[in-house]
Structure 1
């Protein structure tokens, strides 16, 4: 689970202030607000919308209680808090609870019960790689088939984003697509208990967060913990052999398989890894009765999310092609990105940033990926101390180590790059290579002198 979540849910019209107080076992610090439907839930007081409930989370980086005034100014309907502020914002009703995070989770559990009663199917997407792309494709295919639904905003797949995704479901939704992530043991089980999916997709098992999950077996244990949290009569979709590194343990869960199909791909989502993501989404759509013609039409128009194998400038022969895979990285996703790069005509340039949270596996992983990059491209630029600690691989490729940040690095890359080059940019989220992609894009689109 990555980064800080800052979002609001778009709708909570079936919740009232009295509902909230009962579910979270809270007490009002003053009068209860006038009865009216609530517009949603948010945890960022600076981005709240009128009529929403502000949940003041006391987090690692920010304490939501410091933003009560901003929430009131934005028109919050009420705020859920752990303590009375010294100067309560005028007009903002306050509902006190022992734990605002606990309150958020209790609300999500109550919401899950409501969704089940309403016949709304909850779909979870978890796995080491491809979660966001698969979840996004599921939403596109089901929507194209005439179903109405809600999906996780961006990659909000942690202890904050998952409950807010459930709470975002609107009255009348046919489905909710929840992304579930992890980087520590036990997180999948806890989030799965909230989601209780009717249909669960596990995209793959790979080398993710090894600093905390230990090894591939530890990753598998964590990801397969979801199988104990399914709704009654749920179905789990897993990749077929050889796409799954480790098979699940014997369990009572119903399991079906998916695999890439010839002629059934999302044209704008290149690479074998995206064929597998598309196959998972297609399997979900078929299970929910979407017609094949609508599935194919939706795949034809599907577009990649920013930072996930997005190809820029390929149609302009006078400019370099840029593969933006900058959102995140681990060894498996690096291998997939480099495989995609190898499908491009030479010359090829791999710009790779460090892979984080690999623990004791980091030196070996960076050494392997550096060697693979040198075998996949004529030129490699490796950024960060993880790659810097590896010896230059024996290869005819030109390998450079850099610590420069954009725009300095972008200018240097393009100054030494043939206009026919295909450039791959990929690294862990903390490397912030999306900024490098932005700088390269600007310089490619508007070169000096144009």
Structure 2
């Protein structure tokens, strides 16, 4: 079957499923493979559950009109997403960066949806599978598609750009994330900068942080750009405070967000700048920012049994961990308690980064500080440390804190949100 013919089939059955446990009626099942699974083995099951077609890449001896055999299922899914992106001709805004991608994406979506029909990456489906699935969620009615792109090695953003062909792009920042794959911060800059490379090569428009010298230096002579800054050199947006929620002003209008931490200021700025570029009124932009509430363990404020909890346990790297600690230090609150969980994917830098983070946390003199995980357990200090979450859980089951303000921060694999059940 040609790609064009497969796309015509997709237009008739416009739901894609890659998990045989989540089949919906009349979907097309793509039998992806992984290290521990082979979707080809579940093609028949998917059809019995209601899928209209199954796309597989293992030769079969039987003939079934509902089963489409291709050379490579993943490659076919990616090519189909690229084809559909061209077919629908929606405007595509791509964004990447070390920290804040998903929050920024949600803010941009909240703002632009006040005026346009938009689709955006669901959750963090931002990789070589998630991006084509996002592209396939575009409809002929879609005005703007907001596509988040993640990467943990070089050339990944470059490849995703070839699929999505963005008209606009934004990079949140360049931080110490996925050092195991990138090798260094310089590697991070090069990898995330692949979005700039694509946009510049194709003379597309770039949104950028005018207070970030890495971005301003790179884009100094590039004409197709729009920036924001706190110093009035670009579109002026001024930070007011974050105690605990970020407040800012733009064109003498104050915006009160539901986002914790000064580090979320630039995420808001990006959404405001993009809304301004697409000619939304300030009132609509304000509505979009103020109505957005973070979910999924991302900078959430939770009130529970007398505790005020800053839950930021979706992910962590040295940059985001440092910013979270600095913000927590600035909060006007008494009896501050901090739980820090291991940071992953740091490669040979892991020992150094965990030591530096624990030293920083000690210097801030919190009322209580707990380190959780194998990497933090190896740090050289006299802090209370637990090798595993289970060890911490045993302690929490027998301990009561007085009324406290608590920060919970760690990588996704640590799942530190489980602490909430134990307080």
Bin for the TM-score computed over the shorter chain:
0.7 to 0.9
Residue 432 of structure 1 deviates from its aligned partner by: 2.3
State the partner residue of 1:59: 34
Name which of 302, 307, 310 aligns with 2:292. 302
CA RMSD of aligned residues (A): 2.5
Give TM-score, length-normalised by structure 2: 0.87
- 8 Å Cα contact 1:56-1:79 kept in structure 2: yes
- 8 Å Cα contact 1:311-1:324 kept in structure 2: yes
Alignment of 1:144-223 (within 5 A): 145-223=114-192
Name which of 83, 92, 95 aligns with 1:122. 92
- 8 Å Cα contact 2:158-2:195 kept in structure 1: yes
SS in 2 for 1:205: coil
Counterparts in 2 of 1:243 and 1:414: CA distance versus 1, 3 Å = farther
- 8 Å Cα contact 2:174-2:188 kept in structure 1: yes
Which structure 2 residue ranges, 5 or more long, are not aligned?
230-236, 239-247
Name which of 380, 384, 409 aligns with 2:392. 409
Give aligned pairs, total.
399
- 8 Å Cα contact 1:24-1:106 kept in structure 2: no
Instruction: Provide the rounded CA distance (Å) in 2 between the counterparts of 1:403 and 1:300.
Output: 40
Is residue 235 of structure 1 aligned with residue 205 of structure 2? yes
State the partner residue of 1:23: 3
Which structure 1 residue ranges, 5 or more long, are not aligned?
1-20, 27-31, 394-398, 445-450
State the partner residue of 2:245: none
Residue 229 of structure 1 deviates from its aligned partner by: 2.2
Name which of 97, 109, 115 aligns with 2:82. 109
State the partner residue of 1:348: 336
Is residue 432 of structure 1 aligned with residue 401 of structure 2? no
Counterparts in 2 of 1:301 and 1:80: CA distance versus 1, 3 Å = same
Name which of 31, 39, 52 aligns with 1:77. 52
Name which of 330, 333, 354 aligns with 2:317. 330
State the partner residue of 2:367: 378
Residue 415 of structure 1 deviates from its aligned partner by: 4.7
Higher strand share: 2
Is residue 141 of structure 1 aligned with residue 111 of structure 2? yes
Instruction: Provide the rounded CA distance (Å) in 1 between the counterparts of 2:5 and 2:72.
Output: 11
Instruction: Provide the rounded CA distance (Å) in 1 between the counterparts of 2:57 and 2:313.
Output: 38
State the partner residue of 2:271: 281
Counterparts in 2 of 1:36 and 1:294: CA distance versus 1, 3 Å = closer
SS in 1 for 2:193: helix
Residue 278 of structure 1 deviates from its aligned partner by: 0.7
- 8 Å Cα contact 1:25-1:97 kept in structure 2: no
Counterparts in 2 of 1:141 and 1:366: CA distance versus 1, 3 Å = same
State the partner residue of 1:359: 347
User: For 1:119-161, what per-residue CA distance to the aligned partner results, in whole angstroms no more than 9, with x for missing partners?
Assistant: x211111000000000011111111x22111111100110000
State the partner residue of 2:260: 270
Instruction: Provide the rounded CA distance (Å) in 2 between the counterparts of 1:222 and 1:253.
Output: 22
SS in 1 for 2:260: coil
Counterparts in 2 of 1:409 and 1:375: CA distance versus 1, 3 Å = same
